Amino acid sequence: MGTTGTTGIAGTAEAARAVNSGTGGGIASGTALGAGAVGATRTAAGTAAAAEWTPPLSTRGRWIVDADGDRFKLRSGNWHGASGTWNGSGSTDDDANHHAGENSGRIPLGLDRAPMAEIIAGFQEIGINSIRLPFSNEMIHDGRPVTDDSVAANPSLRGMTPLQVYDVAVRELTAAGLAVILNNHTNTTRWCCGVDGNERWNASQSTETWENDWLFMARRYKDNQRVVGADLYNEVRRNVWDDPNWGLGDNHDWFTVSQRVGDRILTEADPDLLIVVEGINWTGIPVDGFAHERPTLEPARHLSHTLVDSGKLVYSAHFYDYTGPNHSGATGTGETSDPRYRDFSPGELIDVLNRQAFFVTAEQDRHFTAPVWISEFGVGGRDETGAKQRAWFENFVDQLIRTDADFAYWPLVGWHEDRRGNGWALLHWDAAGHRMGVYDGDDWRAAAWTRLMAAPARTGHVEPVTEWSMLSPDHGDVVQSRRMRALPDWNPGARKAVCPDGQRIVGLAHTGNRALCSDVSAGALWDAARGHEVVVDERHVRPSQDWASGYTKLQCADGQFLIGYSVRGSAVSAALCATARAGELGTSGRTVWFDRGDNRGEAPKGGDFAHGHYKGQCADDEYAAGIAYTGRFGSSRTPDALYCRKLS
């Protein structure tokens, strides 16, 4: 979500929302959905929010599944407000100084106008099964009680802090059978987005504070199994002076910090949560002639996350009609001549959406393959008469249906007076508590919403899939094995990389320090009771089996396989070998050279795990048992060959 789009750098998924949704339309009255309309809605939606599902959630390839292995499609909406609605100027008490005039009072919107139970029932009626629930870091620490006016329709919430009201919302949503994804939307309790102090996770606070707040929130709801996800941060983007980046290792590196806090949540707070990582929303200066773009998830193609627990990563992206792959969404300052998404033909739109985000689910058996949750999309309702805006929404819904994508509409709740107000929401309440909904008969979005909710989708059991993971010790350790994390440092002073438990190294780069892990063909091989070995010399190389003559070889012993390695600079430092269960590994092998070009076999799986570098990869029915390099003059002691042996 974003700012007004009329000033500032923008680069947001809602940069122009106040312009596009500042006034809503309205025709004939009607204050609530009637029983017939509700029944029709439920039938059309083709889903019940409280349908049977067994938490916790995890992933299998591109699918999210429940604890029984059945597909759980996130048909979500955003219930915003707790992250703030104040526009940043004037008194926070004046509704006029809040986005679209809607003052949330630092809590989920609408609690001044309707009982929480009624709001949640409205979510269920339109087919929602999950809620993205934004919060701010300021909200967590805000000890001021909410005002009586902000909870006028929910008097039991009087005297509570914003966090305590958030607690109640989580409790009641999950009690109704809905899944909840916690979303760290902003640092401050201010309407996002633009140059507002919320551009990065550490824009208005330290990274340490941000990480500690996440551990606090994950632990707070650990015992509620229907709290299923941690959406780490919303719309990471440029501030006045600096861009965020994906992998540079500095204080603005979203890739590295999101992987670190995701691992910390799983290992220190709640191992059951999905970890949701949104792509980068904006980089560059939005002025014609200067480089600028919305990278979204494109960087993940060449550098993807590998969490300490496989099956917990979900990527996310946001799309609105008024933004574009190179358009911030702004009007006035920050507006460029680049096309917006609504300017593309249906075919062009599909191409750009696939390039920016949907490739993550479309391309299987890649290191980046994961579910993609479109955690924000939306459009103006009754008062939106623009042909391009309406066509975009229909075309985008087509894309969601075509790809069977997980999604979250923005927003679910809004205000109206005499059927006028911020028309973006699907459900609106007026000051008297009368509801106006998407199915009242005068909202043009109703047909598209029904089509989306009723569309055929994969259901039922999803078989486990082969895992493919990238190791990238570019700037520090990437030890993704829980077993090795629990042990002392096995090569002090070196940067270490270890596959997640259950996977083995199958590929290595000549330069760039990256590797590919997988459980392909064999599943988990490691016999934990038989331990591991750090190999720094040729102790296991038999003279009769010199597989890389003239090269230094770090070889695992018979019965061991490669799960990790360490580097100093660009030079190989050690090999980490795990002991397999008896009889799992063969001893016949071959040398795979990759010092002068790629050597990955025909149609290798896993994807380009070291873009721009030579790579070697064992076959699916092999395991890596050694690394060879040379220390001769002019060499950087980078890997030159893998020793690939047959699985049993």
State pLDDT tens for residues 588-613. 999 999 999 999 999 999 999 999 99
Q: Is residue 443 part of a domain?
A: yes
The position carrying tokens 């606070």 is 205
Q: Burial, 240: exposed, middle or buried (Cβ in 10 Å; 0-12, 13-18, 19+)?
A: exposed
Q: Do 478 and 369 belong together in one domain? A: no
In this structure, the answer to whether residues 441 and 405 fall within a common structural domain is yes
Residue with tokens 């999604």, as numbered in its chain:
407
Two tokens, residue 560: 């061991």
**Within-domain flag for 165:** no
Residue 324: phi and psi, rounded to 5, are: -160, 170
Nearest to 644 by CA among 621, 624, 619, 627: 624
- What CATH number is attached to the domain comprising 97? 3.20.20.80
Cα-trace Rg, the chain = 26
Q: Are residues 503 and 446 in the same domain?
A: no
pLDDT confidence of residue 519: 98
- Among 454, 486, 521, give the residue marking a domain's end: 454
Please tell me the predicted confidence (pLDDT) of residue 17: 33
| Residue 23 lies inside a defined structural domain of this protein | no
Same domain, 473 and 509: yes
pLDDT digits (tens, 9 = 90+) for 457-488: 999 999 999 999 999 999 999 999 999 999 99
Q: Are residues 372 and 490 in the same domain?
A: no
Neighbours of 646 (CB within 10 A): 15
Own/partner pairs, 88-91, CB within 8 angstroms, 24+ separation: 88/190, 88/191, 88/196
* CB-based contact 68:60 (threshold 8 Å): no
Q: How much is the pLDDT for 2? A: 39
**Is 11 contained in some domain?**
no
Q: Are residue 402 and residue 510 in the same domain, yes or no?
A: no
Residue type, 61: G
* The pLDDT of residue 195: 84
pLDDT for position 39: 40
Give this prediction's pTM. Answer: 0.93
Same structural domain for residues 359 and 299?
yes
- Give yes or no: residues 439 and 547 share one domain: no
Q: Looking at the structure, do residues 234 and 334 belong to the same domain, yes or no? A: yes
Gap between the terminal Cα atoms of the chain: 53
Residue 193 has what pLDDT?
A: 82
The string over 451-477, giving b where at least 16 C-beta atoms fall within 10 Å of a residue's C-beta and e elsewhere, is: ebbeeeeeeeebeebbbbbbbbbbeeb
Residues 417 and 362 reside in one and the same domain: yes
Q: How many domains does the chain have?
A: 2
Pick the closest to residue 498 from 540, 526, 464, 538 (CA basis): 526
- What residue numbers bound the domain in which 366 lies? 58-141+180-454
> In the prediction, which pLDDT does 635 show?
85
Residue 349 sits in the same domain as residue 481 = no
610 three-state secondary structure: coil
The verdict on residue 170 lying in a domain is no
Domain boundary among 408, 425, 454: 454
Whether 8 is covered by a domain: the verdict is no
**Which token pair is 646?**
């047959």
What's the token pair of residue 264?
A: 């910390």
Which regions of the chain are under pLDDT 50? 2-49
Count, residues in the chain: 648
Is 247 buried (19+), middle (13-18) or exposed (0-12) by CB count in 10 A?
A: middle
In a domain, 32, yes or no: no
**Strand intervals (E) in 13-84:** 58-60, 63-65, 75-78
Cα(111)–Cα(152) distance, rounded to whole angstroms?
Answer: 7
* Residues β-bridged to residue 592: 642
Looking at the fold, whether 525 and 603 belong to one and the same domain comes out as yes
Instruction: Kindly state whether residue 537 falls inside one of the protein's structural domains.
Output: yes
Q: Among 454, 484, 519, which residue terminates a domain?
A: 454
